[in-house]
Amino acid sequence: MQTTALIDYGSGNLRSAEKALRKAAEALGGAHEIIVTADPETVAAADRVVLPGVGAFAACMTALGERAGLVAAMEEAVRTRGAPFLGICVGMQLLATRGLEFGETPGLGWISGDVKRLQPTQSAAKVPHMGWNDIRPETISDLFQHMPSPQFYFTHSFAFYPEDPAVMTASVEHGGRFAAAVERGNIAGVQFHPEKSQASGLALIGRFLEWKP
Amino acid sequence: MLKVRVIPCLDVKDGRVVKGVQFEALRDAGDPVEQALAYDAAGADELMFLDITASHEGRRPIHEVIARTADVCFMPLSVGGGVRTVEDARRLLLSGADKISINTAGVENPDLFAAASDAFGAQAVVAAIDAKQVEPGRWEVFTYGGRRATGLDVLDYARLAVERGAGEILLTSMDRDGAKTGYDNALLRAVTGAVTVPVIASGGAGQVSHLVDAVKDGGADAVLAASIFHFGEVSIAEAKAAMAAAGLPVRA
């Protein structure tokens, strides 16, 4: 039995992420236990870590920091032990060095780069970027093999612009091209919401549960 | 390329899906959870869940029903009806909603858009506007399920709601609601021209060509409909096929 710690820090999409993880785990035959937790010991010992997130970068970073020992436990599991990590939406953006949403907020800094407001070059592209969009593979990623569809659900006004473009495994076009997914070693993040992307989202979560980076 | 969304709307009263004709003469169209499951399987892009009588009766949304609905939806879910405070919004989001829709309370207190947007992000905050034409090219905002005139101009109010933090507008034409004669595309054109956030067309869908027109003529980013889907007149697949045939980007 493998454990996946879904980080509980008051994120709005926690319940949906939990449902989708359980559904994907069930489809894999029950070898995965999903634990919704903010307990540092549980997180530090987990085989996999998922960080959800919606809303404002600064608010999410503050909420994460307020849970005593949580960030250190995530560092222990992911950075020291190499447990596979998946950040979803703002959970992905928190990987950045800093967020430039309301002023400047330091992120986890696991993948260098900034989180900035979308500034579409064509006025037809509206912000928030809301709805289903096609992602384009940029590099080969195990996580995106055998997807039933390249369409995923996005809802965001800010995006992660990594310093090293090579970490961008998939991109999306909306008045300019930006990161739909990033990956470096055992650390992955997706800007879209797999927990809301029906079959393609559940397939991606299933790939993550089996991922051996 | 971003797809045009097809959004079935579940108008709910006392835990059951209903659909009003111009907000009156309600017909029962079933259980919300069953409907959500069916739409999830049919490939709907998003689901809108409106507790239509909440403000009128001074009730709070039925969180248990919403939670059960959200549990079977692996698609985005917007919820509205009786959202009056940031706490109301928080409870809905924690029940499993992705977006909360603010109608009457936003007119009475536009700062609610700012407070909700600061707490949850603009992408989670929808301004629901019930609009009625008062003269050619001018529409007025109505509240309390279409019962109360506000004297507010729809374009002014739409701009205000977005400026305060709404990330999307759900625009319902009261003149067309339940009439099945097509969306009010002049109203849609006016509002999509006035704001930079996505606009959902609502009120008036009677056949698939109306969905196409709302996007091509009205500039809508998404089309919402209730009765044509609920009573099986049009399937989600048929709606998307017609939109694709008209050259609109839709999700396969």
Query: Rounded to whole angstroms, how far apart are CA atoms A16 and A28?
Result: 19
B159 contacts B200 by C-beta, under 8 angstroms: no
pLDDT on residue A10:
85
Of A18, A32, A60, A89, the active-site residue reads: A89
Within chain A, residue ranges assigned H as helices are: 14-27, 40-45, 57-66, 70-74, 90-93, 198-210
Give the nearest partner residue to B122 out of A15, A23, A128, using CB atoms.
Answer: A128
For position B21, what pLDDT does the model report?
39
CB-based contact, B134 to chain A, within 8 Å:
no
Q: Shortest CB distance from B74 goes to which of A20, A54, A55? A: A20
Low-confidence ranges of chain B (pLDDT < 50): 20-28
pLDDT at B124: 94
Say which residues have a Cβ less than 8 Å from residue B126's Cβ, sequence separation at least 6.
B78, B80, B99, B100, B101, B102, B166, B167, B168, B169, B170, B200
Structural domains in chain B, sorted by start: 5-245 (3.20.20.70)
Q: With contact defined as beta carbons under 8 Å apart, do A130 and B1 qualify? A: no
Closest chain A residue by Cα to residue B43: A198
**pLDDT value, residue A180:** 98
- Retrieve residue B190's tokens: 């006016």
Residue type, B172: T
Asked if residue A24 lies in contact with residue A209, where contact means CB atoms within 8 angstroms, the answer is yes
- Please give the pLDDT value at position B59: 53
What is the per-residue pLDDT across A91-131, written as a single tens digit (0 to 9) for each? 999 999 999 977 899 999 999 999 999 988 876 799 999 99
- What gap in Å lies between CA A186 and CA B126, rounded to an integer? 36
**Closest CA–CA distance from residue B188 to any residue of chain A (Å):** 15
**Helix or strand run (H / E) with residue A213:** none
Q: How far apart are CA B158 and CA B154, in angstroms?
A: 6
Which of A54, A151, A174 is closest, CB to CB, to B251? A151
Chain-centroid distance, C-alpha B49: 8
Distance from the Cα of residue B73 to its chain's centroid: 17
Q: What type of residue sits at position B41?
A: A
A201 touches chain B (CB under 8 A): yes
| Cα distance between residue A17 and residue A95, in whole Å | 18
Predicted pLDDT at A51? 98
For A202, the closest chain B residue by CA position comes to: B74
Q: Please list the alpha-helical segments (H only) found in B12-153.
A: 32-42, 54-57, 63-71, 86-95, 104-108, 111-120
Residues of B with active-site annotation: 11, 130
Angle CA A67–A73–A75, to nearest 5: 115
Reading chain A (213 residues) residue by residue, the pLDDT tens digits are 899 999 999 887 888 899 999 999 999 998 999 999 999 999 999 999 999 998 889 989 999 999 999 999 999 999 999 999 999 999 999 999 999 977 899 999 999 999 999 988 876 799 999 999 999 999 999 999 999 999 999 999 999 999 999 999 999 999 999 999 999 999 999 999 999 999 999 999 999 999 999
Backbone angles phi, psi at B251, to 5 degrees: -80, 135
Domains of chain A, start order: 2-210 (3.40.50.880)
Q: How far apart are CA A114 and CA A160, in angstroms?
A: 6
Q: Which two tokens stand for residue B79?
A: 């919820």
Task: Give the pair of three-digit tokens for residue B30.
Answer: 């079933």
Pick from B161, B1, B119: nearest CA to A154: B1
CA distance linking residue A152 with residue B76, whole number of Å: 11
> Is the bond preceding B136 in cis, omega lying within 30 degrees of 0?
no
Q: Which residues of A touch B121 (CB under 8 A)?
A: 54-56, 90, 156-157
B137 touches chain A (CB under 8 A): no
Query: What confidence score (pLDDT) does residue A86 get?
Result: 98
